[in-house]
Structure 1
Amino acid sequence: MSDPQTLFLPDNASLSTRLRVAYQCLGVLKHEPTNPNCGQLLNICLDLNVYASLVQQLQRSEEGRRMLSKRPSLQARELDLAALERLPEGTLGHELARYYRDNKISPFDTTLELKNDIDYIGKRYRETHDLLHVLTGYGTDVVGEMELQAYALGNLGIRTAAFILLYSSFGLLKGPQSGVGRSEYLRRLWAAYHRGHASQLFLGFWFEEHWETPVATLRARLCAPEERMN
């Protein structure tokens, strides 16, 4: 297994180099699925062009340019979970803090150097994962995690999300691990993908300025309605 501390992506890396580093990251993540550095590096290896396109989109608006300039962060050292949990129930800050407490997990953190806006967008995508669970309402069970990947694929076109869906769904469709039938599982993924595609680009939203805003208000503003299951 590769040493995660020695893995890095050179500037202007070729496709073959990105694939090689991505493969090495997968080897680490197989044994350390929560390794933040390899998780972010994997995203950048597979989604470099996608992140570059997202940077161009953000540069077209004043709010997007402000985000790229200020680079707000949702990393662990930036979040005071105790203070957020004291906010009124239903607010984004309170519900995010409760999400971490209830799931017994910690906020995202990384030591990777941000050399440019593309690196920042890769980091931003990773650190909004848990917040997106709260915003969309998708659960943290196996199916909920796959729904969130499908949502991100529809909203941003993230290739890593497509890879995770293909890799994970192959095993889920072969057995009962998902807890739902095959047709229902596929319908839920398809609905999540279309919901993400119809929703506002979440990566350009400054969540840090809305801790006191009700989740319901933000959901109505940012997310398309969830498709009803028959």
Structure 2
Amino acid sequence: MSAKLYPNHIPTTGLQKAILASGSALTAILSPWRGDAVACMGETTAGWVLPKIYQRMMEDSEGQRILLEKPRIQDDTISLEQLRNMPDSTLGREYARFLDRLKTTPSARPNVQFVDDVELAYVMTRYRETHDLFHTLLQMPTNILGEVMVKWFEGIQFGFPMCITGGLFGAFRLYPKQRELFRLHLNWIVHNAKHSRFLMNVYWENYWTTDLRELRASLNLDEPPELLK
């Protein structure tokens, strides 16, 4: 078992991680609204994925900057009030609108605890803090259909077992009309996840004032289906 490496770190053995992963996975499948279980599963099953994401970030100039500067998206690092005052359709305005609709803030997500490497813990933190930006970029709501589609995108791009499991099991929970929409737009998700820019290499804080259509085009993303309507 490693020593404590960062403030919220909880050192665990491989066996302890396996037990935590199994228990949290079952809880997350049965109760997908349990954010603590989803977070625990994400961390304890990401051991072989995080180094690959880190390597892809190191191979990209913008990704390297993120790893070097380690920006955080927290209540004390960004001003939601400033984002709310930005023009409609910009990343900043639509991200703030998304959070307001959800009645949450950037700091609401749990801290990383079970990743036994400082650099990889930051990668996990960065993923967690940018998840709502993926929703905003892909124009996906936080209902079960939107979450499933984002999880499929993340699972294909990043390879997190938590995303793959959530996408697969979540699809079975869809209502008939949602399942029809999911099947209709699955090709869009798969195609764009495979052919768009690796989203972990996007320094989101530099694009607050960028129009979402322009940003999607620069990331090689097709315009998303109108699931919000």
TM-score over 0.5 (shorter chain): yes
Out of 189, 194, 200, the position equivalent to 2:191 is 194
Query: Where do residues 1-230 of structure 1 align in structure 2 (5 Å cutoff)?
Result: 8-10=10-12, 13-14=13-14, 16-26=15-25, 30=31, 33-35=34-36, 38-107=37-106, 108-112=108-112, 115-172=117-174, 177=175, 179-180=177-178, 182=179, 184-226=181-223
> 1-side partners of 2:109 and 2:54: how far apart?
22
Runs of 5+ in structure 2 lacking a partner?
1-7
1:228–1:213 CA distance, 2 compared to 1 (3 A): closer
Q: Could you say which structure has the greater relative contact order, defined with CA pairs below 8 angstroms and 6 or more residues apart?
A: 2
Q: Is the 8 A contact 2:157 2:193 kept in 1?
A: yes
Segment of structure 1 superposing worse, 185-194 or 95-104: 185-194
Q: What are the Cα deviations for residues 174-216 of structure 1, in whole angstroms up to 9, with x where unaligned?
A: xxx2533x45433423431221111100011100111111111
Runs of 5+ in structure 1 lacking a partner?
1-5
Q: Is the 8 A contact 1:143 1:185 kept in 2?
A: yes
> 1-side partners of 2:203 and 2:77: how far apart?
14
Counterpart of 2:94, as a letter, is: E
> 2-side partners of 1:178 and 1:34: how far apart?
25
Q: Is the 8 A contact 2:196 2:220 kept in 1?
A: yes
How far does residue 166 in structure 1 lie from its aligned partner after superposition?
A: 2.1
Q: Is the 8 A contact 2:38 2:162 kept in 1?
A: no
Counterpart of 1:193, as a letter, is: V
Q: What are the Cα deviations for residues 100-139 of structure 1, in whole angstroms up to 9, with x where unaligned?
A: 1123232243344684111111111111111111111122
Q: Is the 8 A contact 2:63 2:200 kept in 1?
A: no
RMSD between superposed Cα atoms in Å: 2.8
Q: Is the 8 A contact 2:32 2:38 kept in 1?
A: no
1:39–1:185 CA distance, 2 compared to 1 (3 A): closer
Q: Is the 8 A contact 2:185 2:225 kept in 1?
A: no
Q: Is the 8 A contact 2:196 2:221 kept in 1?
A: yes
Provide runs of 4+ in structure 1 moved above 4 Å. 26-29, 226-229
Counting aligned pairs with the same residue, the percent is 23
How far does residue 55 in structure 1 lie from its aligned partner after superposition?
A: 0.6
Q: Is the 8 A contact 2:54 2:120 kept in 1?
A: yes
TM-score normalized by the length of structure 1? 0.80
Counterpart of 1:88, as a letter, is: P
> 2-side partners of 1:149 and 1:140: how far apart?
11
TM-score normalized by the length of structure 2? 0.80
Determine helix, strand or coil for the equivalent of 1:110. coil
> 2-side partners of 1:31 and 1:141: how far apart?
11
How far does residue 9 in structure 1 lie from its aligned partner after superposition?
A: 4.9
Q: Is the 8 A contact 2:197 2:220 kept in 1?
A: yes
Q: What are the Cα deviations for residues 16-69 of structure 1, in whole angstroms up to 9, with x where unaligned?
A: 44321123434665386233xx54332121122111111112122333222112
Determine helix, strand or coil for the equivalent of 1:75. coil
Q: Is the 8 A contact 2:137 2:212 kept in 1?
A: yes
> 2-side partners of 1:92 and 1:225: how far apart?
16
Counterpart of 2:190, as a letter, is: Y
